[in-house]
Chains A and B, each alone.
Chain A
């Protein structure tokens, strides 16, 4: 067990090292310089540029920059170019804002995709199956912001509720009931929108997986010996069909950053995706690289969690990566 953890940790650290090199190289070697963001500003003299370049270590050779950058990141002294705030603190604040969207979105995705997929698989070729198939393709193919704008118009016109931002501005002193209500309305649309594509994709996977299991001999045996359909499907078949999704549970963690850039920009939601977008616009390299690093850590953490879960759930898989049967 200890060797499994040890080897896994070493592997992940090596991966992380290469990721840090690649992302650093990509950002630093790109044409343009952070000190050129505001070239038209008359107060910005040549000496200022030099001073800034020195303050941010931009005048040193690349490998020194790389070393200094990650040293600062790990000692939490890395400052944003834009407002001189510590990068990790900024990311953490935005992470807390992204969290409710992510939790509600994930709950929606997982609680809807499974019933839909299972029902479609059991009633294969039925009207329900055909229509869920069609709608999942439709939602996978929609640009998310196209749907977002249509939904914003719909929500505002029909329900007359606020949808942009994290809460209504200037109403912070209102009663508790109002505040809770306000927060909920603001969370609904962005989380539904970020869940829709997930529901469409995940329900297809569930359906495929369920179909595969239903075809197997032991399910036929269970049917042949006269068990009620519900027990055959939901007890015998479902348990094995669910197995691969345990691994997916670890892989949703990185979704915190990746998919949220567009949705958070539309809804002016001060989360991690929007932080990344703002950092890109301002060429705020520490924040861009910091976010990339956090995202990579989340992915690696996710794969680690899913390995562990899989090991716990499927006794055929040993911790040494080989099958025991």
Chain B
């Protein structure tokens, strides 16, 4: 009766020297399935992606099926499920099936169409800004962790300096001073949120640096760039993935906060943040504006957060031994 017989089956429980019974992906899935909250997060995320893709198909283009920018001044602030005004509106101006499923806003625009369009705008903001910060974070973190010495101290000082700025205030300042555009918001959020990722990558690299495969690659005479970005980065992906997932959530929240203060995605593009910010003026007369977009943001951010934490648990071999 040795101790390893008691341990749960899993990739890392095997100390017999045999190869693991499960592949990495199988093992990861096995771990994730146990975590109910993370699983719900994943389901919500998949649902959200489907909605966002359907949203781009339905609301973009020249003659979209549902036009998020169609202003109907006869039908302003209609509650959900109310019918369109058939006497005044031309057939091509009416919403899909002649019903406003989620009501209309102060200009008579269909909230459903705007929410669908907002899904892909919010997604774009989240992913592009996180993409930028991950890229910067990986490069700087890799350089700092691989080279060490004064390269490391210069980069880490830069990280310290970035962390000294109150991040939301800094983002707000830059976004407000620059001309309003959705790209500026993404770039600014991306450029201000890399220090966390750089730190994680550096820590991973410090540990990987002394491992045999890196030493072997060096002995083979591979270029340093190749060693860092082809051999080491894939091994440091776990914490990057986790913080990227949670980063998307916080980018969506930041965008909604900026919209609330009047510096978010500029009109006529709809984002969930600016639907919510517009809705605050009509919170008593048209609460659906506020509730629909607020719930959409809440569920999406929740899904990213839950899935991110699930990833962290599933990818961390230290945690599962407990």
- Residue numbers of A with Cβ under 8 A of B are 14-15, 18-19, 22-23, 26-27, 30-32, 133-134, 137-138, 140-146, 149, 153, 211, 215, 254, 257-259, 261-262, 265, 273, 276-277, 280-281, 283, 288, 291-292, 295-296, 299-300
Contacts and interface: CB of A to CB of B under 8 A. Distances in A.
24 contacts: A15-B164, A19-B165, A23-B165, A26-B177, A27-B173, A27-B177, A31-B178, A133-B37, A137-B302, A137-B306, A143-B260, A145-B280, A146-B297, A149-B290, A211-B322, A215-B322, A258-B167, A258-B169, A261-B261, A277-B261, A280-B173, A292-B170, A292-B173, A296-B165
Contact of B298 (A32, A146, A149, A280): A146
A81 to B, nearest CB: 14
B297 A143 contact: yes
A26 B157 contact: no
Contacts of B297: 143, 146
A143 B253 contact: yes
Interface of B is mostly: helix
A134 B177 contact: no
B169 A295 contact: yes
A102 to B, nearest CB: 13
A295 B301 contact: no
A142 B161 CA distance: 29
A142 B179 contact: no
A185 B249 CA distance: 33
A30 B164 contact: no
Nearest to A18: B161
B161 A257 contact: no
A72 B178 CA distance: 26
B177 to A, nearest CB: 4
A265 B261 contact: yes
A145 B273 CA distance: 11
Interface of A is mostly: helix
Contacts of B276: 143, 145-146
A149 B277 CA distance: 11
A277 B174 contact: no
Nearest to A215: B322
A209 B94 CA distance: 57
A134 B37 contact: yes
A146 B280 CA distance: 9
A273 B257 CA distance: 14
B92 interface: no
Given A143-B257, A261-B169, A261-B172, A299 B163 contact: yes
Contacts, number: 120
Given A19-B161, A280-B176, A146 B290 contact: yes
A15 B283 contact: no
A146 B322 CA distance: 38
B131 interface: no
Contact of A149 (B167, B168, B280, B322): B280
A283 B177 contact: yes
B165 A292 contact: yes
Interface in B241-296: 249, 253, 256-257, 260-261, 273, 276, 280, 283-284, 290, 294
Given A30-B177, A134-B37, A283-B177, A145 B257 contact: yes
- 3 smallest CB-CB distances across A and B, nearest first, come from A258-B166, A30-B177, A141-B301
B305 interface: yes
A276 B263 CA distance: 14
Interface string B49-61: 0000000000000
Contacts of B283: 149, 153
B218 interface: no
Interface in B170-214: 170, 172-174, 176-179
B257 A141 contact: no
Contacts of A138: 298, 302
Contact of A137 (B37, B157, B168): B37
B175 to A, nearest CB: 9
A145 B305 contact: no
Contacts of A141: 249, 253, 298, 301-302, 305
